[in-house]
Amino acid sequence: MSAKALAILVAAGRGERMGAGRPKAFLSLGGEPLLLKSARPFEAATSVGTIVAVVPATDEEAARQLLAPLRKIVAVVAGGERRQDSVLAGLRQAPAGFDGIVLVHDAARPFVKAALIDAVIDAAARTGAALPVLPLVDTLKRVREGRVVETLDRAELGAAQTPQGFRMDLLVDAYEQAFRDRVTLSDEAVAVERIGRPVAVVPGSALNRKITTPEDLAWAEEILASPRVGAGA
C-alpha cells in the first residue's frame, strides 16, 4: 500500500441516549476519557499514519489538550449537526494529496483491536470500501403498533460497526454525491452503497460494541476490570 491510513475519529455527537447531560467523549472509562481510550488503538496501529479527531464545537480546546500526547493527531476540529457533517469536517483535514485509505471510527467504540483495523484497511484497499459486520444472535421481528408483522431471516442480516474504511477518492466522490442529493447517511458505507459501488465485509467483534447507554458504559467498565479480556483493552 502506498501510504499509511488516515483515521477520522468522530466524537461530536450529543450523547443523548447516555443522558449524562454532556457529550460522551469526556465520560470516564477505566479512569480516562472515552475519546482518549478510543484514540489509543489507532495511535498504536502501525498501519495508521495520522489521526483527525472531530469533537463538539464547545469542547474543541479541551479535546486538543487531551489528545496532545498522541503523536499521530494532526487535527482536532469541530463536528456538525449530523454524523455526515462531522465526517466531512474530518475529511477536510486530510493531508493535501492524501490518496490512501481513510478510516472513520466511532469514538464511542473504545475496544477496537489492531487486527480489526488492519483487516478493514486490507479489504478497503482491495475493494474500495469495507466495514466490520457482526452477525446477529437474536431473532428479529418487524413490529408495528405493538404487534409482530413479520419475522426476518437473521442469516442475511448483521450489525454494522466501525472502523469503516475507504479509498480516499471513493469516499470523497460518494460524499459529494450524497450531499448534492441531500441524503441523510446513517453510516459512511451507505454513501458508497447508494452509488452502486461494492462494500466488502470483514468479521465484526462483540468487544467492539458502541457505548451508547449507561448500561453499555457499565459493561465497558466490567470488561476493563476482567483479568481475561480487560488486559490490553
Question: Which set of grid coordinates corresponds to residue 224?
Answer: 476493563
Residue nearest to Mg ion (CB): 13
What is the smallest separation between the CB atom of 76 and ligand CTP, expressed in angstroms? 12
Question: Which set of grid coordinates corresponds to residue 58?
Answer: 464547545
What is the smallest separation between the CB atom of 13 and ligand CTP, expressed in angstroms? 2
Q: Which is nearer to ligand CTP, 35 or 121 (CB)?
A: 35
Residue nearest to ligand CTP (CB): 13
What is the smallest separation between the CB atom of 193 and ligand CTP, expressed in angstroms? 19
Site string for ligand CTP, 38-57 (x = CB under 6 A): ----------------x---
Query: From ligand CTP, Mg ion, none, which one binds at residue 79 (CB under 5 to 8 Å depending on kind)?
Result: ligand CTP
Alpha helices in 21-167 (DSSP H): 34-44, 60-67, 83-91, 114-127
Q: Are 48 and 69 in contact (CB under 8 A)?
A: no
Q: Do you find a cis peptide bond into 69, omega within 30 degrees of 0?
A: no
What is the smallest separation between the CB atom of 31 and ligand CTP, expressed in angstroms? 20
What is the smallest separation between the CB atom of 210 and ligand CTP, expressed in angstroms? 5
Closest CA to 26 of 12, 6, 43: 12
Question: Which set of grid coordinates corresponds to residue 54?
Answer: 472531530
Three-class secondary structure of residue 161 per DSSP: coil
Neighbours of 70 (CB within 10 A): 15
Site string for ligand CTP, 94-133 (x = CB under 6 A): ------------xxx-------------------------
Three-class secondary structure of residue 193 per DSSP: helix
Q: Which is nearer to ligand CTP, 16 or 215 (CB)?
A: 16
155 contact partners, CB below 8 Å, separation of at least 6: none
Q: Which is nearer to ligand CTP, 2 or 184 (CB)?
A: 184
Among 14, 141, 142, 154, binds ligand CTP (CB under 6 A): 14
Q: Which of residues 9-38 bind Mg ion (CB under 5 A)?
A: 13
8 contact partners, CB below 8 Å, separation of at least 6: 51, 52, 54, 87, 90, 91, 93, 102, 103, 104, 105
* 33: contact with ligand CTP by CB under 6 A: no
* 59: contact with ligand CTP by CB under 6 A: no
Three-class secondary structure of residue 14 per DSSP: coil
Binding stretches for ligand CTP (CB under 6 A): 10-17, 24, 54, 79-83, 86, 106-108, 210, 212
